[in-house]
Amino acid sequence: MPCQHVTVPGAGAAIVCSPTRRCACGKRATLQCDWKVPTRRSGTCDRYICSSCTTSPAPDKDLCKEHGAAWAEWQARR
């Protein structure tokens, strides 16, 4: 179970553990989509993806299947 240290407003810090994240294909997700989504608080898609399903347009950048296709379309138009 992956665990994270989080800050709880008014209560201090806590450790939160959750079950292993899975990619849409069912494999263990070790990455998150880095596609920019301005309406999200984090600023990125953050969909969990495995190393087999990622599209990597640049070092340390990973895209989910949907955003990998959008990136490929954008590249084709350039």
* pLDDT (tens digit per residue) in 36-53: 999 999 999 999 999 999
Sequence-ordered strand ranges (E) for 1-78: 3-8, 12-17, 31-32, 48-49, 55-58, 61-63
Distance between CA 53 and CA 66 in Å, rounded?
10
pTM of the model: 0.72
> Comparing 13 with 61, which gets the higher pLDDT?
61
* pLDDT (tens digit per residue) in 4-14: 788 888 888 88
How far is CA 22 from each of CA 7, 13, 25, 26, rounded to the nearest angstrom? 25, 27, 8, 6
Q: Within a 10 A sphere around the Cβ of 31, how many other Cβ atoms?
A: 19
